[in-house]
Amino acid sequence: MNPATCKVAARRRSRFHAASTLALASLCVAALPAQQTLRIADLAVRYDVVDLGLSPGSNPTGLSNSGHLTGLYFATGGQRRAFLFGGGLLSDIGTLGGIAQSSAVSDLGVVVGYSVDLQNRQRAIRVQNGVMTDLGTLHNGTHAAANDVNNAGWIVGMSERRQGNETWQRAALWRNGTVQDLGTFGGEYSEAKAVNEAGQVVGWAWYPPPNRLMRAFVWSSGAGMVDLGTLGGSTSVALDVNDLGVVVGSANVAGGASHAFVWTSQGGMMDLGVPAGTDESFAVAINNAGQILGSCFLPLECRVEPLLWEKGVLYRLNDLIDPASGWTIVEAADIDDSGVIAATARQGGAYLPVLLVPATGQ
């Protein structure tokens, strides 16, 4: 497999929803960014790897502060299904008739995602107390997906919106039984990726032609949609926000490559850099302690390397587990406020969902 093909294949394992894939393609250019040296001094076993006992090939997508985990698993017969896992119990969240995908879970155990119904429509869903609800769509829309939920029950994602012969994808907010179009920067498309407990929503939105630039945004009911800018390039995407309003995602630098960023209202967008030997980085999750999860792509090895940014230091997650354990972390999906990480790991050729639990004394 050549490096370009390998790079695309690796990205297909990312947290980004399929509806964002084409839009994110503009981030994926072959320029070499500035490099950042990983700290290697004083490294020790920081995390114990806990096997959840789920079937090989399963992978997590969301983790709550109350210990709920959601993701995909292989059921009896080899069918891939969405699950809710907590208290040692695995529950299949069900479907609307076709496949289902879970994206996130709240501290109250509410799961959101999407399911294909019997009319072959992709619908945004909420699963609460074992009951799946079709959240509906924006005006005359057919397809929708939910990406995140907070403890107040606000759900964000994307929905089609139709008017006449025109169809657009819009960032959507479901709350109090209604669905709201969060708008764009004048273009046709947008998507909401995360919502915090303060009701701030982040994602990406397009500007109008001729450039159709895609920019990271933060939305609130008071200020509306605010462009977070870039790192000197033209494109950015926001993927998560913590309860303090700190946003993470990826943005183009002046040379065109994509770097992970962290954004605050006081300091604006800051480049988190990339490890030496890589050509890009992404940040996908942040907790209230300021720990940031992400990844980089290693082109010579044709694989994605999970990363952790903590107190200004960038680590490879695989450097923070016991090398004698036999585990290799291949993807990190989410992190809770205590620093527990939901991840996919490889051991003996099998890919399994695990929790990285801070080791005693860490």
Flag whether 176 is in a domain.
Answer: no
Flag whether 245 is in a domain.
Answer: yes
The CA distance from 183 to 272, in Å, is: 29
Cα separations in angstroms, 209 against 185, 189, 310, 359? 11, 12, 39, 51
Q: What is the pLDDT of residue 94?
A: 96
Query: Phi and psi at residue 317, in whole multiples of 5°?
Result: -60, -35
In order along its 362 residues, the chain shows pLDDT tens digits of 343 334 333 332 333 333 332 232 222 222 223 333 333 334 567 999 999 998 899 999 999 999 999 999 988 777 889 999 998 899 999 999 999 999 999 999 999 999 999 999 999 999 999 999 999 999 889 999 999 999 999 999 999 998 778 888 999 999 999 999 999 999 999 999 999 999 999 999 999 998 889 999 999 999 999 999 999 999 999 999 999 999 999 999 998 999 999 999 999 999 999 988 888 999 999 999 999 999 998 887 788 899 999 998 999 999 999 999 999 999 999 999 999 999 999 998 899 999 999 997 65
Flag whether 58 is in a domain.
Answer: no
Q: What is the pLDDT of residue 44?
A: 63
DSSP string, 36-60: BPPP-TT----EEEEE--PPTT-EE
User: Which residues does 47 contact at the CB level (< 8 Å), separation at least 6?
Assistant: 317, 320, 321, 341, 356, 357, 358, 359, 362
The CA distance from 151 to 154, in Å, is: 7
* Contact between 247 and 292 (Cβ < 8 Å): no
Which amino acid is it at 332?
A: A
Q: What is the pLDDT of residue 318?
A: 94
The CA distance from 218 to 245, in Å, is: 9
Flag whether 167 is in a domain.
Answer: no
Which amino acid is it at 313?
A: V
Q: What is the pLDDT of residue 36?
A: 39
* Contact between 98 and 116 (Cβ < 8 Å): yes
Residue 355 per-residue DSSP state: E
Flag whether 196 is in a domain.
Answer: yes
Q: What is the pLDDT of residue 80?
A: 86
Flag whether 172 is in a domain.
Answer: no
242 burial (CB, 10 Å; 0-12 / 13-18 / 19+) is buried
Q: Which of 208, 141, 202 is nearest to 173 (CA)?
A: 202
Flag whether 360 is in a domain.
Answer: no
Query: Phi and psi at residue 27, in whole multiples of 5°?
Result: -80, -15
Which runs of E-coded beta strand occur in 75-154?
Answer: 80-86, 89-92, 97-105, 111-117, 122-128, 131-134, 144-149
Q: What is the pLDDT of residue 244?
A: 98
Token code pair at residue 236: 């950015």
Q: What is the pLDDT of residue 229?
A: 97
Domain count, the chain: 1
Q: Structural domain of residue 280, as residue ranges?
A: 1-30+182-292+303-314
Flag whether 190 is in a domain.
Answer: yes
